[in-house]
Amino acid sequence: MIRVVASQARDGIVLTPDLRGSAGGRGAHLHPRLECLDLAVRRKAFGRALRMQGAMDDSALRTHVRRVDSTTTDRTTDPTGAVDDQKRSTRS
């Protein structure tokens, strides 16, 4: 899980990952997957969780999630029950 914090910038609200988990203020947690980030943005979950209104710039958070998501290893099980570690494709 990634802790996400919001900060007020000149151009609006900026969402950033709190990698150390020590940033002050309210935080929200997110699975480090692009699908989860897209769903949270579409549902406006960050605004509710962080109790902030307005347009939110998620570019720094999206860059971090994209980097983490592309290095994630999936564990899949074949029909015989054997576990196979495989690197997930980075193609969209």
Q: What is the pLDDT of residues 20-60, one digit of tens each?
A: 999 999 999 999 999 999 999 999 999 999 999 989 999 99
Q: What is the pLDDT of residue 70?
A: 83
72 against 29, higher pLDDT: 29
Rounded Cα distance, 11 and 54, in Å: 11
74 against 2, higher pLDDT: 2
Range of the domain at 26: 2-77
Residue 70's domain is classified under what CATH number?
3.30.1230
Q: What domain count does the chain have? A: 1
Task: Tell me: pLDDT of 81 over 90.
Answer: no
What pTM value is reported for the model?
A: 0.72
Angle made by CA atoms 64, 46, 30, in degrees to the nearest 5: 45
Does residue 54 lie in a domain region? yes
Does residue 87 lie in a domain region? no
